[in-house]
Structure 1
């Protein structure tokens, strides 16, 4: 199955933050932001399933097709209208437009973790606390569970997760006598060794990606974003960020990064012919390699993410999505029933079987999941490495409530470092300044 990557590349048109610091207008029969808090008991949820009805789900995740079919088979009076309203930013723009218009808002929406705060602050999403989500503590791994929470409230249920690991081409490593790096210093050393042995080969490709950069800073201990309601902070001068920039600048200065844009045809070709030797990326990557890089079947392996300190066991998340209930949705009780089925109940296993990397501890700890052998990876039990990474995600990370916009201007700021027009530190400072300016223009108090 061809998988859609979890870290979406944003289009030039970005989600406006015009609703961020004011509540959305009410709409829908269930009541908008001015209405009573949403919620239902387990008995009320079951009654709604038995009564039936139709819910509209906006999502691009392909495994949800089977989940929706199974849900309708179990509850034949319920119809799930699964709509692909666009991937990532395209859907977010459509959702915001529907919210502004007060019509056409879906009952359920897929929202990536980095984008969730933007919709929460604009009061576009329903708090799920009234549905008994306090009973779900321990159901999900820490990274995704933290990502769907704002303050004490839960605004989505995690669909999947992206704990990071090192994917590497074993054939390339064996050919050039490379050692699988366990630290980032070792990673730089192997990058130098590889490119010297074969000037056409690179340790990885990177032309500047906001999601990758923030994930690396996250692992290094950086916490550049702070959020307290409409008061936010942006500071890329912290020690964790400096760890990342000092190391990654060596790769840029040494021309040790392939100048190939991720997810392009050239990128897939490089992963297949060995000229791109590693990827440091989320746990959702195996199916992408299996379907998109068939030329390297049997050659790739997975290892723990390199560490900033020798002997460390710290990772970060890269990508992942939740299912949320828009505040203007018409059928919140049925919507929540679908959310729980898709992320906690039978649908969670269906999605894991379909290739999604689970956010649920039950799937991650099951022998069926952990003992699965991947022929593409030479028979390696890849999930054992990835599940361990999920338990090692560093706590305390926050995204901006206008992260969708911030990521869209990454190329114009930090991206210049990859063209030799600035250092990474200078690029991050420019990104910080532009983000602060935008936040202030939208009515935030920005520190």
Structure 2
């Protein structure tokens, strides 16, 4: 019987370290999964013949995608496992790899975590399955995220080009112009506070994911990884540009001290306490589903710039990959390819707010012309796709980004508490990451 109910995977342990140090790889190449490739015809034949595979994900659209896949390939049974979220998913995958048991055939992995599993050799190089031919299907930034270190380690599921989401009615009520640059953002934040001390232009308590996206948007390239060689420079030109600007934001006191994704945060968005958010293109679904009182009031604008030049970054986003120890790589590769290339699958993903990484869907007239009732009839995808076109290429995460994000609060995050400056916090974050990476067996330079 087909499994159309998402089963929940429970992850043991609270912490998440690098998924196997380099020293523990037993001399394997910094890649994974060799010698199991197949042609497109062989993959299709395997799908027609059928079998069983396991897919781990936290994507809400997965159940309908699996139903559509099994209708197209009735001889394949997909065991769908809900891993709750990125952190739980990574921990569960790490545990399965360490135990040598229970590794899925296909698994969702955030872009920022791919290297964490790829470098120790825990992912299959999809070049073996001819996936290099798929490059032109995806936006450059998302393809760049999955194709590093001379291999293809996953296929892009979605993208998260940043944009400026703002409560137009709130700005109008207080007679404050909607900002287009970071300088104007600070001015608008001060004007809103003057008009109503209870209103903040935004909120941020020191979110590592937001900070790295904003560093990327400022032109920073602080992390470079090529195999076991890692360079960290959190004082490069772009990172410094962000730190100087954002220190002014913090010093101005224009942000609410409300953590994101909490009940308090959603309440503040609903009642007009928070006037804007900068986050990824997946944002419309969040506001529509959880901020009902803002219907008709919110709008989306291009990401704030430094000097009027459109420059952007990604915030969030995931791929799907085939683990090196997957029991059925051939079926896994076939399902993965269908999942992230077929119109039927991508349409299901988009139907409930997923923002695709595929050029075809992003450029379609229907997608671009969609007018959102929640956003006052605005053609929001025109703005979001425009943001995707201006994403700076070449960004890389650390091979241990999950760990790095975990220590962000104790280093850079102290600047939000007034205990240090962003510049000094970044220096402390760099020192801690250099030590950690070296302890994990990487050659780390500054």
**Interval of TM-score (by shorter of Structure 1 and Structure 2):** over 0.9
Tell me, what secondary structure is at the counterpart of 2:177?
coil
Match of residue 397, structure 1, among 377, 395, 398: 395
Question: Equivalent residue for 2:315?
Answer: 318
Q: 1:394-430 CA distances to partner (integer Å, 9 max, x unpaired)?
A: 0111101011100111111111111111111111111
Partner residue, 2:60 = 62
Rounded to whole Å, the distance in 2 between the matches of 1:237 and 1:70 is: 48
CA distance in 2, matches of 1:92, 1:414: 24
State the match for 2:412 in structure 1: 414
| Residue 353 (structure 1) aligns with | 351
Q: Is the deviation greater in 231-240 or in 113-122?
A: 231-240
What SS does the corresponding residue of 1:111 show, helix, strand or coil?
Answer: strand
Residues 217 and 311 of structure 2 are in contact (CA less than 8 Å); yes or no, is this contact kept in structure 1? yes
Compared CA separation, residues 124 and 35, structure 1 to 2 (3 A): closer
SS in 2 for 1:302: strand
Residue number in structure 2 paired with 1:246 = 244
Give the alignment partner of residue 334 of structure 1, picking from 326, 331, 335: 331
Give TM-score, length-normalised by structure 1. Answer: 0.93
Q: Is the deviation greater in 314-323 or in 336-345? A: 336-345
Q: SS at 1:82's partner residue? A: strand
- Select the residue among 260, 263, 268 that pairs with 2:261: 263
Corresponding residue for 2:21?
Answer: 20
Structure-2 residue corresponding to 1:94: 92
Query: Which residue number corresponds to residue 227 of structure 1?
Result: 225
Cα distance between partner residues in 1 of 2:15 and 2:108:
17
Return closer, same or farther for 1:23/1:328 CA change in 2, 3 Å cut-off: farther
8 Å CA contact 1:24–1:99 kept in 2: the answer is: no
Residue of structure 2 in register with 1:181 after alignment: 179
CA contact (8 A) 1:18 1:442 kept: no
Say whether the 8 Å CA contact 2:164–2:300 is kept in structure 1. Answer: yes
Partner of 1:6: none
Distance 2:103 2:217 in 1: 36
Contact 2:19 2:117 in 1 (8 A): no
Q: Secondary structure at the match of 1:122?
A: coil
Deviation readout 1:178-225 (Å, 9 max, x if unpaired): 222221111111111111111000110000011110111101111111
Q: List alignment gaps of at least 5 residues for structure 1.
A: 1-10, 27-32
Q: Is the 8 A contact 1:217 1:240 kept in 2?
A: yes
Once the two structures are overlaid, the 10-residue window that deviates more, 421-430 or 312-321, is 421-430
**C-alpha RMSD over aligned residues:** 1.6
Task: Report the more deviating stretch, 341-350 or 394-403.
Answer: 341-350
Q: How many residues align?
A: 430
Q: CA deviation at 1:37?
A: 2.2
- Residue 286 of structure 1 is matched in structure 2 by 284
Correspondent of 2:192 among 159, 175, 194: 194
Deviation at 1:177, TM superposition (A): 1.7
Report the CA distance shift for 1:275/1:16 in structure 2 as closer, same or farther (over 3 A).
Answer: same
Match status 1:53 vs 2:56: no
Deviation of 1:261 after TM superposition, in Å, equals: 0.4
- Which residue in 1 is equivalent to 2:372? 374
SS in 1 for 2:137: coil
1:199–1:20 CA distance, 2 compared to 1 (3 A): same
Partner Cα separation in structure 1 for residue 240 and residue 210 of structure 2: 15
Provide the rounded CA distance (Å) in 2 between the counterparts of 1:61 and 1:383: 21
**Which residue of the other structure, out of 385, 388, 395, is the alignment partner of 1:387?**
385
User: What is the aligned counterpart of 2:435 among 429, 434, 437?
Assistant: 437
Q: For the Cα contact (< 8 Å) 2:206–2:413, is it kept in 1?
A: yes
Equivalents in 2 of 1:425, 1:336: separation in Å?
A: 44
Instruction: Report if the CA contact (8 A) 2:412-2:426 is conserved.
Output: yes
* Structure 2 match to 1:81: 79
Q: CA deviation at 1:103?
A: 0.9
